[in-house]
Amino acid sequence: MLKVLLITYYWPPAGGPGVQRWLKFVKYFKDFGIEPIVYIPENPTYPLIDESLASEVPAEITILKQPIFEPYRLAEVFSKKSSKTISKGIIAKKEKQSLIQKLLLYIRGNFFIPDARKFWIKPSVKFLQKYISEANIDTIITTGPPHSVHLIGKELKEKLNLKWIADFRDPWTTIGYHDKLKLTKRSIKKHKQLEQEVLTSVDHITVTSYTTKEEFLEITNKPVSVITNGYDTEKVSEVKLDSEFTISHIGSLLSGRNPEKLWQVLYDLTQENDEFAKAFRLRLVGAVSEDVLFSINEAGLSGFLDNKGYVSHKEAIEIQHSSQVLLLVEIDKPETKCIIPGKLFEYMVSKRPILAIGPKDADISRLIRETNSGYFFEYSEESEMKSVILSYFKEFQEGKLIAKTERIEKYSRRTLTKEMSLVLKNLKKKSHRPK
């Protein structure tokens, strides 16, 4: 059994997609000869909580904890609401930001590089250096964001000559919200420097998208593997399909994920088609920015909106299975074409048709096309959106609306864990660390 140490900030009871990737790897690692030890913060400030995920943590694994200093707690002195929304990644448009929000964003962007969890680096290195030596561990994994976690890996690599995998659930300097952090030129330069140091000192890099792999290969000659997120074989209670024509979005809808032309298309359909107006519901599940809610209201859709807020992962899965159509929205910027949300794979396995909107050449369009799980549109393709929504509605009326999804088995969490295990075992074979 190969022992590996996973260093992660997000872990149950944290909610949201950030926790699920490595929770699922850890769940299946022992099936492939990997014994994981998990290192997490003792007192984190998680923006979302989902107690139900704790039941998926294998009882036999070792979990290590050390305290972390969280600046977001200090920020709450100035504005509890602003600090919480920023920590969730919900950033209002520039013209709608209050003075406090602008100040907090500037401080977050320029005083906490690479992120607000930077104060966990030194105590973690000190604690783990001793533990790793005593436990005879020679392979570590860091997963970010937060990218401070990768700096823990970098220091441990330098001190102990470990084999190290850096896993990027999202990119670093090309992430969509970086331009909202009011970064100075000096701060941008520091981010790029730290990113390069991590990418060139690590032994192997894993990423969740094809575009991120291409970006990283321009910076480093270290091997980069695409291991996407995926779906698990969830035990879903028997759920009936909604009697209404529900178009549901599961997950956060940040300010940038605001498809105003889709809202207009949906409103037009309610005005042009009485049967559509009687049956249609727009369901949002998860954190939704005020900008998005304002746009929906301005489009005339408030009477059709069912805004459920954050729900447990279990309930979210049930809603996916009962919805008529599943909506996926990515920010309309070139730098977000690399984002493949974890919910895409859960959408696929729910067998409900997907309506996806994003930037040109987005990686999600490739996956949707390969699996025949729905349709992808660029933001400007409103006439095409309208045509597909009408075709979905017609099938709904006939009781025939279902996704014809295929070739998704390679995205099961167990299959993906096998891929990650092979990366770890190949590293072990190449290890020449003196005993």
pLDDT in tens, 258-287: 999 999 999 999 999 999 999 999 999 998
pLDDT computed for residue 73 by the predictor:
53
pLDDT in tens, 49-61: 888 889 999 999 9
What is the rounded distance in angstroms from the CA atom of residue 65 to the CA atom of residue 363?
Answer: 36
pLDDT computed for residue 335 by the predictor:
84
pLDDT above 50: residue 67: yes
pLDDT above 50: residue 397: yes
pLDDT in tens, 337-358: 999 988 899 999 998 999 999 9
pTM summary value: 0.83
Closest to 349 (Cα-Cα) out of 301, 408, 303, 402: 408
Provide mean pLDDT across the span 305-330: 93
In the structure, what pLDDT confidence band is assigned to residue 77 with cuts at 50, 70 and 90?
Answer: very low
Q: Find out whether 68 and 37 touch, Cβ atoms under 8 Å.
A: no
User: Poorest-confidence range of 74-83, 96-105, 369-378?
Assistant: 74-83
Provide mean pLDDT across the span 148-158: 98
pLDDT above 80: residue 199: yes
DSSP secondary structure of 169-190: SS-STT-TTGGGS---HHHHHH
pLDDT above 50: residue 242: yes
Domains of the chain as residue ranges with CATH: 2-71+112-230+413-430 (3.40.50.2000), 245-409 (3.40.50.2000)
Q: E strands, 145-223, where?
A: 163-168, 204-207
